[in-house]
Amino acid sequence: MSLSLLILIVLALGVAGYALARARVTAQANGDRRRLHSLIGYYGHTVFLFATVPALLLLGAWLLLQPVVIDGRVSSMLQPGDIPEGGSLSLVMSDVRRIANGLDTLVAQGQLTEAALTTLRTETADVRGQLGSVGIALGSDVQTNVLEAAKAYRGQQGTAQAVMAAVVLLASVLGLALSYKRLSPDFRARNVFESFVKALLIASSMVAVLTTFGILFSMLFESIHFFQLYPAKEFFFSLTWNPQFRGGSSLGIWPLLWGTLYVSFVALLVAVPIGLMIAIYLSEYASKRLRTFAKPAIEILAGIPTIVYGLFALITVGPFLRDYFAQPLGLGTSSSSVMTAGLVMGIMLIPFVSSLSDDIISAVPQSLRDGSFGLGATQSETIRKVVFPAALPGIVGAVLLAASRAIGETMIVVMGAGAAAKLGLNPFEAMTTITVKIVSQLTGDTEFASPETLVAFALGMMLFFFTLALNVIALIVVRKYREQYE
Amino acid sequence: MTDANAQAPRTSLFAPDARTARRNNSEARFRLFGLISVTIGLAALVMLLSSVLFNGTSSFRQTMLELPVTLDAKVLDKKGNRNPDDLAKVTTIGYGRLISDALDKAITDNGIVVDGLTSKDVKDMISKEAPAQIRGRVLANPDLIGQTVSFQVLANGRIDGYMKGRVTLETAERDSNVSVNQLHLADALHEKGLLDMPFNWLFITAPDASELRPEAAGLGVAILGSAYMMIIVLVLSLPIGVAASIYLEEFAPQNRITDLIEVNISNLAAVPSIVFGILGLAVFINFVGLPQSAPIVGALVLTLMTLPTIIIATRAALKAVPPSIREAALGVGASKMQSIFHHVLPLAMPGILTGAIIGLAQALGETAPLLLIGMVAFVRDYPGAPPEGFFDPAAALPVQVYNWTQRADPAFVERASGAIIVLLIFLVIMNFVAILLRRRFERRW
Amino acid sequence: MDDLRIVERDVNTHTNKITARGVDVFYGGSHAIKGVDVDILDNTVTAFIGPSGCGKSTFLRCLNRMNDTIDICRVKGEILLDGENIYNPKVDPVQLRAKVGMVFQKPNPFPKSIYDNVAYGPKIHGLTRNKAELDEVVETSLRKAAIWNEVKDRLQAPGTGLSGGQQQRLCIARAIATSPEVLLMDEPCSALDPIATAQVEELIDELRAQFSVVIVTHSMQQAARVSQRTAFFHLGNLVEYGETGQIFTAPKDPRTESYITGRIG
């Protein structure tokens, strides 16, 4: 039974429950709706919810857990000898899944009957060739145990699907029947319905918490996995980054961290002064006409996707810097460089800094400005010596937020900074960042269970904690600052 | 102790004062810095947009050859029975010959003479994609066989580049993929009206093409994939986001758990997007086992990213509804839930929708997390109809841009910029709708 | 220090410090001040009284061109400081405000140290040549503002940490540190408690020895206590102006009388 059909049936049951509930309470109240505790709709809604929501939740949980359970059971069928030299269980399991899919396709195309499948043996048939004909290319011949595991996997999946459909439908019918039985004119349908809705509201708000846990656990597990394969000491203290296809990689984080910080530093060097001056000029000096035009125009920069900035770095800024600065000055010949990425990222951050500082500067009370003007200070003296120091904590918070953006930014550095992991000072040289390496390690062809791929999770973990710390500090600073003037 | 200042001689207000002049100069300087900064900001915007437009507008026109092609039955249907299975056995090589014959004929018919033109030159004028396109049309409509039909076929990418000024006679001399003779031939064909640059519908509808055929690469699969993702993101993030906001804004008690949720939401809003990609890879693909490159996975990741935006906007909108409305509803005996769903929520709806659209616009342009969940894969097949199509491999607009920038042929730079123009058009439309909504329904209490 | 106070000058001087003629102020479309003529004497405390919204604060802010910082505000007519029109284009408001200091309704110390608060004016105007002189100006100003004894041990502490009354006296010290000729005070006691108010009022009385003081106040008692001359504003008009005693005991205009007796306000 396909998933969408199952969902449709559950929904249909819900609708039927709605109609039944209305009919039943109407009959119980002898058609007099005033005798009901709640509006008649609530009786229907309640039955609808009981018939659908638990069933659908069950369905979701089942879909989430089924692969885990089946994987566990099937992988126990494999012997240690089935795992090739240098491979891992998870790789063999992915083969098992692919073979199972291939067998499905073969059966669906009629090339293989169910009966033939049960007697299919690696010794007697060219399983690899047959699978190849339906687009499942395997690196080596299929081993007996692997094929058996694949068959078991296929079988269990089929069974699991059937059981799932049955359980979900049962849950739906049960929900419908139980809630239907409780119906009576005195049944507090509105209260029940509202409690149910409230539970849904709470569940929705827990999604954010779940997401954070998801992020933490997914990175934590794979990072632990990584540190089992690769010494943590090397990762945190090695100064070289040199992943190899065939083992023996050096995966030190320092060159990446250096590149990240260098690019972010250049970006902040561009964004902070310009953004700050834009905020000051637009809030303190600009005419109303300029402000109504320039403010949204600069905010457009914030709405442009980073891929556009990446392309800008790649095709315009990079070649420009190379031809007019790096090469004449003899500083390098690469169009992707720290400078390219930093400059473009700086542009991206300008509206971020300017709108945050704008808020902060306008939070400085007018009375301070008046006090300064009253003493005969010029506007710039007032801004530099009174407004700016008063707003400083908030501006520091804004800069920290911008820094966390810069550190986590991906597309601009992927397209503008380059891929060479280096600990250099020349800003016109290509360097690489944590985010670039996360992308390249996870989109490359290396095996998933190798340290070269798993390192991306450790890098992601570092990135997550780094930006989290910056954000938390920034939020605390800004909040303190706000309280000062409230 | 003496008071030095009190004894200072009184100066006239009209008297020029060197120090004040200096201070006023520094004031003017400061102002100038501000003006320069604003100018830099605006100039950056202009440069960014003009760089994209300058490089990308040409991708909306494509060099095509207008050729009457004789669909010879002897070649295309040797058995003469119009059996679809037999027709399908004729490969693109067979069609390719028909097209180059047609071009040969057109050249002689129009009396075009280019010195030193080889037959390979003529054959290579046509895109390698063109035979496949004609084959597709013939298979869809076998009645065409035996007729002479006028087709618009794609010209080779280098010829297209020449027509757009990217390839010149000088670069052609050094280029092994195109000869100077071909460029002369292109000029001659253009003069005779056989070679033209109509609007490039294929760019918007066609799927991606291989590295060697930039002229045929289109955004069809990417647009469809992005559209699928946006549908799912909207369907998931709007109800969940609104429900979460209602709980937090209207029901949540002041306690530890509420604090935890609030802190989580504000932190999620600042988590780098790539981290969400890692989450998608680890949870949705490796743990749950959803297929790679599928819109459903991309959409789930983008939903989680969009939720904080929607929640923040919705809470602001709910907060803006004055308490008097709630009190009025409660006062006539409505339950709290009724007062919210019947009165507060409808009044907050414009603000919520505006926030949702802005969140969607952000999600539409997001690239990094999609790279990690395999949407960089080369996908030529359109995903099926929803809901099953949500699980088929597809591309996404911003990822397609990234994909094209990673290819060697400079023609892909034009395509990538063109794709960005398409992306920006969508974003402009979405933001415009958001502004319109706000203008139309904004209420001041 | 005492040598500054021993010369009690004649309070009944008749030298005009500020002369305003036909002053009109417009806020966007509304006409906030209507043709006001007034002479403010040197070494005198002049009080502006009137119901709220009558334009007394607006007029006060014209006297040192603080209204320039509001975009929509336009001033017509002439205001002479020692015979020089302060709205003359040649006049730089920055220079003017050094001569005409201002103290605001709410104490607004900068979020800096007490010392830096007072030193701010002398520093920006370049009134001192070295640190020693600056120290001296700060001390003098704090003494004149009658707050020296309370803060002399914690000059580096933030000014925002003082009590309300102390903050306001700090603001007065800050204003007199640039040695202005006129001191404008916009309801300087409205945010203070009675004890702090008494301290500030006492201070104002002492200040008039050196400055021409103009004070806007809501409280008629305060006007009566501190001022020698009083101007009554009503709906943007200057209704009556004269000796404080005469205004409070024998007002000529019926509107003044109604206000004094509490019928409008």
- Shared-domain flag, residues B323 and B389: yes
- Whether B332 contacts chain C with CB within 8 A: no
Residue B68, strand partner residues: B150
Q: What is the pTM assigned to this prediction?
A: 0.86
- With respect to residue C149, please indicate whether it lies within any of the assigned structural domains: yes
Contacts of B427 in chain A (CB under 8 A): 303-305
Mean pLDDT along residues A193-213: 91
Pick the more confident residue, C123 or A63: C123
- Inter-chain touch B3–C4, beta carbons under 8 Å: yes
Residue A98 has pLDDT above 80, yes or no: no
Residue C2 has pLDDT above 50, yes or no: no
- Shared-domain flag, residues B228 and B344: yes
Assign C6 a pLDDT band (cuts: 50, 70, 90). very low
Q: At C242, is the secondary structure helix, strand, or coil?
A: strand
Q: CB within 8 A of A76, min separation 6: which ones?
A: none
- Shared-domain flag, residues B137 and B71: yes
Nearest to B14 among C88, C122, C178 (CB): C88
- Inter-chain touch A305–B365, beta carbons under 8 Å: yes
Distance CA C94, CA A285 (A): 17
Residue A231 has pLDDT above 70, yes or no: yes
- Shared-domain flag, residues B268 and B397: yes
- Whether A370 contacts chain C with CB within 8 A: yes
- Shared-domain flag, residues B126 and B228: no
- With respect to residue C7, please indicate whether it lies within any of the assigned structural domains: no
- With respect to residue C176, please indicate whether it lies within any of the assigned structural domains: yes
The CA distance from A371 to the nearest CA of chain C, in Å, is: 7
pLDDT tens readout for residues A387-415? 998 888 889 999 999 999 999 999 999 99
Please tell me the predicted confidence (pLDDT) of residue B94. Answer: 82
Q: Which of B167, B198, B229 is the last residue of a domain?
A: B198
Distance CA B304, CA B359 (A): 11
Q: CB within 8 A of B144, min separation 6: which ones?
A: B71, B137, B138
Please tell me the predicted confidence (pLDDT) of residue C1. Answer: 33
pLDDT tens readout for residues C49-74? 988 888 888 999 999 898 887 878 88
Assign A75 a pLDDT band (cuts: 50, 70, 90). confident
- Inter-chain touch A190–B30, beta carbons under 8 Å: no
- How many CB pairs lie under 8 A apart between chains A and C? 71
Separation in Å, CA A267 to CA A272, A343, A344: 8, 6, 7
Mean pLDDT along residues A6-23: 90
pLDDT tens readout for residues B163-177? 888 888 888 888 888
CB hemisphere CA count around A103 (13 angstroms): 30
Contacts of C95 in chain B (CB under 8 A): 13, 17, 20
Give Rg (Cα) of chain C: 18
Please tell me the predicted confidence (pLDDT) of residue C245. Answer: 87
- Shared-domain flag, residues B175 and B281: no
Mean pLDDT along residues A353-365: 89
Contacts of A275 in chain B (CB under 8 A): 37
- Inter-chain touch B14–C140, beta carbons under 8 Å: no
- With respect to residue C45, please indicate whether it lies within any of the assigned structural domains: yes
Nearest to C84 among B8, B14, B20 (CB): B14
The CA distance from C151 to the nearest CA of chain B, in Å, is: 20
Q: Do B301 and B283 contact (CB within 8 A), yes or no? A: no
- With respect to residue B32, please indicate whether it lies within any of the assigned structural domains: no
Residue A135 has pLDDT above 70, yes or no: no
- With respect to residue C252, please indicate whether it lies within any of the assigned structural domains: yes
Distance CA C123, CA A305 (A): 47
Separation in Å, CA B12 to CA A3, A43, C82: 90, 87, 9
Nearest to A278 among B41, B266, B271 (CB): B41
- With respect to residue C2, please indicate whether it lies within any of the assigned structural domains: no
- Inter-chain touch B13–C210, beta carbons under 8 Å: no
- How many CB pairs lie under 8 A apart between chains B and C? 46
Q: CB within 8 A of A455, min separation 6: which ones?
A: A226, A230, A235, A243, A251, A437, A441
Assign A183 a pLDDT band (cuts: 50, 70, 90). confident
Residue C10 has pLDDT above 60, yes or no: no
- Shared-domain flag, residues B294 and B428: yes
**Choices 3.40.228.10, 1.10.3720.10, 1.10.274.50, 3.40.50.720: CATH for A250-484:** 1.10.3720.10
- Inter-chain touch A373–C69, beta carbons under 8 Å: yes
CATH label of the domain that carries residue B286: 1.10.3720.10
The CA distance from A432 to the nearest CA of chain C, in Å, is: 43
Please tell me the predicted confidence (pLDDT) of residue A486. Answer: 56
Contacts of C126 in chain B (CB under 8 A): 19
Nearest to C95 among B1, B10, B20 (CB): B20
Residue C186, strand partner residues: C216
- Inter-chain touch A385–C120, beta carbons under 8 Å: yes
Mean pLDDT along residues A464-484: 84
- Whether C9 contacts chain B with CB within 8 A: no
- Residue of chain A with shortest Cα separation from C176: A375
CATH label of the domain that carries residue C215: 3.40.50.300
Domain count, chain C: 1
- With respect to residue B33, please indicate whether it lies within any of the assigned structural domains: no
Domain positions in chain A are 3-187, 250-484
- Inter-chain touch C96–A376, beta carbons under 8 Å: yes
- Shared-domain flag, residues B250 and B369: yes
pLDDT tens readout for residues B282-308? 888 887 777 888 899 999 999 999 999
Percent of chain A with pLDDT over 70: 93
Please tell me the predicted confidence (pLDDT) of residue B300. Answer: 94
Separation in Å, CA B180 to CA A27, B66, B102, B125, B130: 89, 21, 22, 12, 22
Q: Do A339 and A419 contact (CB within 8 A), yes or no? A: no
- Shared-domain flag, residues B193 and B230: no
Distance CA B27, CA A385 (A): 13
Q: CB within 8 A of B68, min separation 6: which ones?
A: B102, B106, B148, B149, B150, B151
- With respect to residue B247, please indicate whether it lies within any of the assigned structural domains: yes
Contacts of A373 in chain C (CB under 8 A): 66, 69, 97
Nearest to C178 among A288, A376, A385 (CB): A376
Contacts of B13 in chain C (CB under 8 A): 81, 84, 86, 88, 90-91, 95-96, 99
- Inter-chain touch C69–A386, beta carbons under 8 Å: no
- With respect to residue C190, please indicate whether it lies within any of the assigned structural domains: yes
- Shared-domain flag, residues B396 and B434: yes
- With respect to residue B151, please indicate whether it lies within any of the assigned structural domains: yes
- Binding partners of C (≥3 Cβ pairs within 8 A): A, B
Domain housing B156: 62-198
- With respect to residue B51, please indicate whether it lies within any of the assigned structural domains: no
Separation in Å, CA C251 to CA A221, B369, C214: 87, 80, 20
CB hemisphere CA count around C232 (13 angstroms): 24
Domain count, chain B: 2
- Shared-domain flag, residues B182 and B257: no
Segment-wise mean pLDDT, segments of 10 residues, chain B, 445 residues: 46 80 92 95 94 91 88 79 77 84 87 82 86 85 84 88 87 84 88 87 88 88 94 94 94 89 88 93 83 89 94 92 90 89 90 91 93 86 81 90 89 92 94 86 67
- How many CB pairs lie under 8 A apart between chains A and B? 262
Distance CA B285, CA B400 (A): 21
Separation in Å, CA C173 to CA A62, C200, C206: 75, 11, 13
Domain housing C37: 15-260
Residue C160: which of C204, C116, C98, C209 has the closest Cα?
C116
Residue C127 has pLDDT above 70, yes or no: yes
- Whether C131 contacts chain B with CB within 8 A: no
- Shared-domain flag, residues B305 and B231: yes
